[in-house]
Amino acid sequence: DAGITQSPRHKVTETGTPVTLRCHQTENHRYMYWYRQDPGHGLRLIHYSYGVKDTDKGEVSDGYSVSRSKTEDFLLTLESATSSQTSVYFCAISDQGLPGELFFGEGSRLTVL
Amino acid sequence: AQKITQTQPGMFVQEKEAVTLDCTYDTSDQSYGLFWYKQPSSGEMIFLIYQGSYDEQNATEGRYSLNFQKARKSANLVISASQLGDSAMYFCAMRDSGANSKLTFGKGITLSVRP
């Protein structure tokens, strides 16, 4: 199994508070991704990274920021959490372009009250 | 922009029967890859099968095969001899060949296998 760790795995917070989710990999893979999963929407890309300090937006990036200061860590930050950001967040990694299978973390369930 | 469409409602299949899960896609790229992932109720994402746009043969992995029809832009997953453990959500996804390519997912299909 690919070495991916997401933390925290579960978090409950209140509207307006900042939240940071961490994705840590031990595979030295170049690409890292943050997705959110919501019923009826599948997995939607929030942000991704193709190298240290190289990041780009996905389709649902509003309200989120990311940072990647070293290969192994990709942080997702909600500056001011809203109830619409209640979701399950998945981190994924890949070592190359095509074919480039993605390996997923176990997910982080975030509830914003 | 890439788009993946999975429109089937929840699917049901009898144990030991075959089932086809539909996926259509839209892209202007010539080089791309198509993936299927399985998500059981426990929540983890499990890679099943991959098809490259230039692959001449349909991909197969054990009981999984991908019915790739490039002209119709479809990439249907066929599961043969269904098992109870196949009950899960299934996602089709696509990735282009760009240097900074990303994986775009469909909304998923729920499959239930009946004993």
**Cα four-point dihedral sign B100, A18, A90, A5:** positive
- Per-residue pLDDT tens listing for chain B (115 residues): 778 999 987 999 999 999 999 999 999 888 899 999 999 999 999 999 999 999 889 999 999 999 999 999 999 999 999 999 999 999 999 987 776 677 889 999 999 999 9
Q: How far apart are CA B60 and CA A33, in angstroms?
A: 27
Q: Which residue of B has its CA nearest to A105?
A: B44
Report the pLDDT value the prediction gives residue B73, as an integer from 0 to 100: 95
Owner of token pair 């959490």: A81
Query: Which residues in chain A are closer than 8 Å to B21, comparing Cβ atoms?
Result: none
Q: How far apart are CA A91 and CA A23, in angstroms?
A: 6
Report the pLDDT value the prediction gives residue A74, as an integer from 0 to 100: 98
Q: Which of A98, A104, A109, A110 to mutate to test the interface with B (most CBs of B within 10 A)?
A: A98
Residue ranges of chain A with per-residue pLDDT less than 70: 1-2, 97-99
